[in-house]
A and B are shown apart, each in its own frame.
Chain A
Amino acid sequence: MTIIGGRVAVLFGGSMLIERVFSYPGLGLFGYSAVMNRDYPVLMGLVLITATMIIIGNLVADISYALVDPRVRLE
């Protein structure tokens, strides 16, 4: 489950590659074109959004530990 939480980052990286290959318009391709055009405000926003998603992913993983394993208690 720790691994699933950490996968969120890889997901975004992978989406960049895949969206570029198939030119599928999504956040990944958006980020790629922002990098290519040196569009820093867009990049900062994207990094912020993905970082938030990663943190939420980790949080969900941590919380679900408590749900699955009765030895872990939420204080």
Chain B
Amino acid sequence: MTQRKQVAAEITSALAESSEILTPGRIVWRRFRKSKLAVLGSIILLFLIVVAFAAPLLTTHDPNYINMGQFRRAPSENHLLGTDSLGRDVWARLVYGSRVSLSVGLVSVSIILLIGVTFGSIAGYFGGLIDDGLMRFTEVIMAFPAFLFTLTLIAALDGQGNIFLVMLVLGILGWPGVARLVRGEFLTLREREFVLSAKTLGASHARILFKHILPNAMAPVIVVATLSIAGSILAEAGLSFIGMGAGPNTPSWGSMLSEANSRLVLQRYPWLWVPPGLAILITVLSISFVGDGLRDALDPRMKE
């Protein structure tokens, strides 16, 4: 009741401000705009997505072209950020690396959502034995040391240098958090009156699940999904850094960063590791800002 009153007050005050009609989407958008960091983060993210799509237009160099005659050259007008230890253009690798990082984030989070939402909603909706069984399984997955297990899986499947395997493994190990969250949402939502009324009207399980409960449980899931994109990008960078993620032929920020493993490079050739490091930092930071902004915007209990 208090929630409804708050929303009503919000709507009337907003109506006084502007004459536009406030749909829930517009309320969220208005709140999201209020957070400067979130807006900044989404602008940077949009920019990164454009860069990833327009990579061939931004550089004339092939990111994998090895030129041993020109290794570790300082930045010049031909090589904007210099060349790395194999004579490859750092700027080209950086630009193409954004494709790798963003797709790792998106693909692994899609897998996380697919498994997590399915498990969570089935467990939360049906409850009882099904719930117990699924949740114990979730806890087993949760107890695995994620990083070590990811490394082991990649090594065991012999997928060194296979970036798709990295996406897959990050996806199948990352879902327990989402499953728990969705289950929690379902547990509270299934007791609500609108679900009871749908049941009384004879709606099928599938209809109640997909049409009535799932849309209401989506808000926190969107937030967690956004934040786990950042987590996946970081994990990929870490894996590539120790040489178990993207292979040498895939330009990835993590594998570029692994050049800094050598002390000589660290001290004397900063253009080899500063750009990818900054790129990872900025990407992950802006995704986190967007996630935080979304959390505040999507929560109906937040005060203006």
Contacts and interface: CB of A to CB of B under 8 A. Distances in A.
Chains A and B form a bound pair: yes
A32 B151 contact: yes
Interface string B227-246: 00000000000100110100
Contacts of B151: 16, 31-32, 35
Contacts of A36: 155
B57 to A, nearest CB: 35
A13 B146 contact: yes
B217 to A, nearest CB: 20
Interface residues of B, number: 17
Contacts of A68: none
Contacts of A61: none
A51 interface: yes
Contacts of B244: 35
A47 B261 CA distance: 26
B47 to A, nearest CB: 29
Contacts, number: 57
B152 A43 contact: yes
Interface in A9-51: 9-10, 12-14, 16-17, 20-21, 31-32, 35-36, 38, 40, 43, 46-47, 50-51
A38 B156 CA distance: 7
Q: Chain A interface secondary structure, helix, strand, loop or mixed?
A: helix
Given A17-B241, A31-B148, A40 B156 contact: yes
Interface in B121-175: 142-149, 151-152, 155-156
A43 to B, nearest CB: 5
Q: Which of B152, B156, B241 has the most CB of A within 10 A?
A: B152
Contacts of B261: 21
A16 B242 contact: yes
Contacts of B142: 54
A40 B148 CA distance: 12
Nearest to A40: B156
Given A16-B242, A17-B242, A50 B156 contact: no
Given A20-B242, A21-B261, A32-B242, A13 B145 contact: yes
In this complex, which of B146, B148, B155, B156 has the most chain A Cβ atoms within 10 angstroms of its Cβ? Answer: B148
A55 B242 contact: no
Contact of B144 (A16, A20, A40, A51): A51
A13 B147 contact: yes
Nearest to A55: B143
A46 B151 CA distance: 12
B155 A9 contact: no
A31 B150 CA distance: 12
Contact of A47 (B149, B155, B241): B149
A54 B143 CA distance: 6
Interface in A48-71: 50-51, 54-55, 58
A46 B148 contact: yes
Contacts of B156: 38, 40
Contacts of A40: 156
B147 A16 contact: yes
Contacts of B238: 13, 17
Interface of B: 142-149, 151-152, 155-156, 238, 241-242, 244, 261
9 contacts: A9-B145, A12-B145, A13-B148, A13-B238, A16-B147, A16-B151, A31-B148, A43-B148, A47-B152
